[in-house]
Amino acid sequence: MIPLICILLSTAADISFGSYLRPRLILESSPTFDNGRQIGTVDSPELKEASGLAASRTHPNILYTHNDHGDRSRIFALDATTAHVRAVFEITNATSHDWEDIAVGPCHGNETCIYIADTGNAGHGARNIIYRVLEPDTIQNGSLPIDSQLHFTWNAQDCDTLMVDPSGEVYIISNVNGGKGLIAHIPRSGWDSGSTVHVNSNTHLSISTSHPDPLGGDISPSGDEILVKTRESVLFWDMNGSKDYVSVLQTHPIRLPYISEHQGEAVAWQPDGRGYYTLGEGLHSPLYHYSLV
């Protein structure tokens, strides 16, 4: 359990950006995180447009990340204590049109997999493929073959947010101007089915921004909370014991501390839920960490 305290919170309607905040004191339970600190800067010039981030469940202090569109099919293992790139993994049997987010979650019962979303538009329409690879045994340069892939269609053009819950269920949120992206749960029957899953959704994220949002997200390994990254903020939802991620994402979030980054799209929970990381795009970008206090 994370400690709960009372905080000064803006009204739900004020989770909008570029507008004034009208704070009001209400009793609200929410975790409090510090204002963040820079861990280091990414040392590899090959990781120059990080667009997703997820923490390994099997290797302590390892974060997986990847470049935005334009790179080949590969992911980077970043040391969460230094921002040093420890290894690069080529993902075989996968293509990269516009990889926009990455998540780590269970697969095959007791194993853990890395999930990669080739869901970005990149000007030519989204591929809408999610790849799954088993987490590597060792963090050293190598290749990882895909374990499975899921193809889907839906009523959205572009998606930067992929999340996986503790039972391996996949959730995506489309990127739209103003942030009210379409939220969808993709049924697990789509993995390796050989056919395309048609996802129906008419539920939207309950936020209001002045940019194309959201840009990334992560469900904590316990499944108890959600983070979503927008251009200007990190947003938080407490599941309060619910397992219905789609419904909870339709409620108003709480805004958490965030140090402004250049095109920051990447957010990840620390595996124990006691902190989170953000990473922006650009050469030698800083990796930031925010701790539960």
Ligand X SMILES: *[C@@H]1O[C@H](CO)[C@@H](O)[C@H](O)[C@H]1NC(C)=O
**Amino acid in position 186:** I
User: Does residue 194 touch ligand X according to CB under 6 A?
Assistant: no
User: Does residue 109 touch ligand X according to CB under 6 A?
Assistant: yes
User: Does residue 237 touch ligand X according to CB under 6 A?
Assistant: yes
Label residue 122 exposed, middle or buried (CB < 10 Å: 0-12, 13-18, 19+): middle
User: Does residue 138 touch ligand X according to CB under 6 A?
Assistant: no
Task: Closer to ligand X by CB, 34 or 46: give it.
Answer: 46
CA dist., res. 116 & res. 53, Å (int): 10
User: Does residue 248 touch ligand X according to CB under 6 A?
Assistant: yes
Q: Kindly determine how many residues on this chain lie close enough to bind ligand X according to the rule CB under 6 A.
A: 13
Helix, strand counts (H, E) of the chain: 1, 28
**Amino acid in position 34:** D
User: Does residue 110 touch ligand X according to CB under 6 A?
Assistant: yes
User: Does residue 189 touch ligand X according to CB under 6 A?
Assistant: no
Give the tokens for residue 222.
């316990």
Q: What's the closest the beta carbon of residue 125 comes to ligand X, in angstroms?
A: 23
User: Does residue 141 touch ligand X according to CB under 6 A?
Assistant: yes
Which of 158, 238, 261, 265 is the binder for ligand X (CB under 6 A)?
238
User: Does residue 88 touch ligand X according to CB under 6 A?
Assistant: yes
CA dist., res. 249 & res. 237, Å (int): 7
Q: What's the closest the beta carbon of residue 141 comes to ligand X, in angstroms?
A: 4
Give the tokens for residue 36.
């963040």
User: Does residue 29 touch ligand X according to CB under 6 A?
Assistant: yes
DSSP annotation of 135: P
CB atoms within 10 A of CB 90: 14
Residues at the contact surface with ligand X, assessed by CB under 6 A: 28-29, 46, 88, 93, 109-110, 141, 237-238, 240, 248, 251
